Every structure is written in structure tokens, then in C-alpha cells.
Amino acid sequence: MGSSLGGFRAANGGVVFLDEIGEMPLDLQPKLLQVLQRWEVTPVGSSQSHPIDVHVMAATNSDLESQIDKGLFREDLFYRLNTVHISIPPLRSRAADIPGFIDHFSAHFAQKYARPQWQAEAGLLKRLLGHPWPGNIRQLAQTIQRLYVFEDRRDWVLKQLFKDDAQEDADVAAPIQADSMPAACPAPLADPTAAEPTLPLYNLAELRRLAVRQALVATKGNRGRAADLLGVSLNTMTRMVVEFCPDLAPKGGRKPAAKPR
């Protein structure tokens, strides 16, 4: 059986990027500190150490100095990592960068979903520039992806994005109209907020059923887009529809596997 290299050894001669370093468990921090002090790693189950030659970059959204005061982050590791410190302002503080990010992610998802590249008209772009973006770049990227996944419900995606903003534009925040369902979904779907139980729910099966149904509502029954929204494969989506929403399953579709006795 072949063995695989760890992250540091695989990156030898290159760069190791440690994202969200502030979330590293306290018991793992001494091990990272030892690697950075000795510039060598010892694979699990081995007594032989291996030298490494890497550049280390670490990123975090946490205030590490505050984490140190709370005993959640080692001070010696902080100073070992903090040789060169670059503070990147939140996205809301650099609105001039947003159009470039929109173009980048729009081009990426246009290629991924084989669709024309989406561009924001002037009024909408102004709103995007003024949005606070609490999730920073990740939220912006996810928003652009949702505009492709829900291509025919973009007004709904934008309404969800701007719902907590100080003011809403009528053309962006227009309510979703009850469109007819495409042939992909054999049964009509009601608005999930009308008759579904309210959150929070603590029944896992009910949460799954609600997620499947809401994904199908949002995509007007398109299982491929619903699968993208839930982050599952189309086969898994089909199985989940049969298992959790049998009233929406096509006739002759897959039946849920029998549970072992």
C-alpha cells in the first residue's frame, strides 16, 4: 500500500496556506509551532523526521491577540507566524474592488454552468457596491453562483441578499410570482413559507424534507439546480425526493432502499 505525503511535505519548495488559523484547536498548536521552529515534520506512526523548505502563509478573521488573552491561541505561535502582517480591510470598506470581483466570479460560473456571463445593470451595481457584505468575498462569490443556479429567479436571490438593507428597490425586491411548474416536476409545489412548519426544527428527517421541498420550489422543480443548491449529486437528489417527498417523485421513479432488519 502506497503512502501519501502530508501537506507540508507535499508543498516542499512551495507555499503552505493555513486558512482560518484562529480556529486551530489548542492541542494542535504546539505541533504546528514545532514544525515552524525546526522546519521538519515527522509523519504519523514514524520515528523519522523529514526536513521541509516551505513558505507559510496564514489567514484569519479572528482577533488573535484577543484569542491569546482568552487562552485560546498560543502567544509563541502568534509571534512565530506574525513575521509579516498584512491587514486586509473588509469588502464593505473597498467598494471599488467589487466590480472586478463580480466580473471574475461571473466569468467563472458562466464557464462552469455553460451560460452567458451575467452583468449587473447600473442601478443594481450601485446597490451591490453599498451592500455591507458581512461574509466578504465568500458571500459575494456565493451570491454570483446563486444567480446562475436560480437563473429564472434572480429577483428572488437579490431580494434575499438585500432584505436586511436600509432600503429596497422595487425592481430588485419584487415578490416572487407563482409561475407554472415545468415538466421536470410532475406535481405542483406550494410556497414553502405558506404551509410548512416554522423554524427552528429539531427533527432531522423533517429538516431534510423541508430542505428538499424548498430547493425544488426555488428552482421550479428543476432537480439539477436543486441538487446544486443543496450541494449533492443529481442521483442523491433523486433519492432524497423519493425518500422525503414521495408526492413529488415521478411515476416509475426509484424506490427507497429497504432498511436492513
Q: Which of 162, 191, 210 is the last residue of a domain?
A: 162
Distance of alpha carbon 39 from alpha carbon 52, whole angstroms = 6
Write out pLDDT tens, residues 22-45: 999 999 999 999 999 999 988 887
- Note down the domain range covering 30: 7-81
CATH number for position 134:
1.10.8.60
52 and 99, same domain (yes or no)? no
Bond before 200 cis per omega within 30 degrees: yes
Strands, E assignment, the chain: 15-18, 40-41, 50-51, 55-58
Q: Residue 181: which pLDDT band, with cuts at 50, 70 and 90?
A: very low
How many domains, in total, are found in the chain?
A: 3
Task: Kindly report the CATH number assigned to the domain that includes residue 238.
Answer: 1.10.10
β-bridge pairing 40-41 and 50-51: antiparallel
Q: At which of 106, 128, 162 does a domain end?
A: 162
* Degrees, nearest 5: CA angle 28-18-139: 120
Q: What would the pLDDT profile of 82-126 be if each residue is shown by its tens digit?
A: 988 888 889 999 999 999 999 999 999 999 888 899 999 999 999
pLDDT score recorded for residue 252: 52
Q: Please list, in sequence order, all residues whose beta carbon lies within 8 angstroms of the beta carbon of residue 150, skipping any fewer than 6 positions away.
A: 156, 157, 218, 219, 225, 229
